[in-house]
């Protein structure tokens, strides 16, 4: 399902533990790491898609997590030109994402990277909240920053602002622009 602008609806998932560290997954067959994410089916709402992707990608069930907050609007990123498949219709130029912040309510043994027939991750680790930014693939960095920046205030003990040592130099200008944007881009489960 791709919208009229060429963006595929998607959910991004940040799972944190009691210490405020985040799940960071190593993609199967790649050297890259990322948060769980996946497409929203035509018959799904973002929350339903989030739970489905959570189960498929990391084996967690709704009873294993608490939804702490989510981004209100869509966060978008464009694919690099060489990744856009122009021969496929409709053409997908990027993703628009709703991001969810979840707290793990059980121990690490609940994670199962082989929960689906086609695993997304072949390794994972807990990482400090902001520390993952320099490792995010370049075309997703701004969206990751926006998601983390929006959701950080909902985690006790996590700085609301990204420490400067987490940002690669080429990313600092974009981060400054995002900081000056409307800070009210997330809501907690209690605000519903």
CATH code (residue 88): 3.90.79.10
Specify if 119 maps to a domain. Answer: yes
Specify if 15 maps to a domain. Answer: yes
Specify if 37 maps to a domain. Answer: yes
Calculate the average pLDDT of the chain.
Answer: 88
Confidence bin at 165 (pLDDT 50/70/90): low
The overall pTM is greater than 0.75: yes
> What 3-state class would DSSP assign to 64?
helix
103-158 pLDDT per residue, tens: 999 999 999 999 999 999 999 999 999 999 989 988 999 999 999 999 999 998 88
Containing domain of residue 168, as a range? Answer: 7-191
Confidence bin at 86 (pLDDT 50/70/90): confident
Count of domains forming the chain: 1
Specify if 2 maps to a domain. Answer: no
Q: If 0-12 CB within 10 Å is exposed, 13-18 middle and 19+ buried, where does residue 185 land?
A: middle
Specify if 56 maps to a domain. Answer: yes
Specify if 99 maps to a domain. Answer: yes
Specify if 1 maps to a domain. Answer: no
Q: How far apart are CA 118 and CA 34, in angstroms?
A: 17
Judged against a pLDDT cut of 80, whether residue 68 lies above it is answered with: yes
**Nearest of 180, 181, 175 to residue 162 by alpha carbon:** 175
């Amino acid at each position: 399902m791709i919208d009229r602008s060429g963006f595929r609806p998607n959910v991004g998932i940040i799972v944190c533990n009691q210490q405020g560290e985040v799940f960071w997954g190593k993609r199967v067959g790649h050297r890259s790491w990322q948060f769980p994410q996946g497409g929203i089916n035509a018959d799904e709402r973002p929350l339903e898609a989030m739970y489905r992707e959570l189960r498929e990608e990391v084996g967690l069930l709704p009873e294993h997590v608490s939804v702490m907050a989510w981004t209100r609007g869509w966060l978008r990123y464009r694919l690099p030109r060489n990744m856009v498949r122009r021969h496929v219709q409709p053409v997908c130029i990027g993703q628009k994402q709703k991001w969810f912040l979840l707290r793990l309510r059980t121990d690490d043994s609940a994670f199962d990277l082989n929960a689906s027939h086609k695993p997304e991750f072949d390794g994972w680790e807990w990482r400090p909240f902001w520390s993952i930014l320099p490792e995010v693939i370049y075309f997703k960095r701004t969206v990751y920053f926006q998601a983390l920046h929006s959701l950080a205030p909902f985690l006790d003990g996590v700085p609301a602002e990204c420490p400067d040592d987490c940002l690669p130099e080429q990313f600092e200008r974009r981060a400054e622009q995002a900081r000056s944007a409307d800070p009210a881009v997330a809501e907690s489960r209690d605000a519903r």
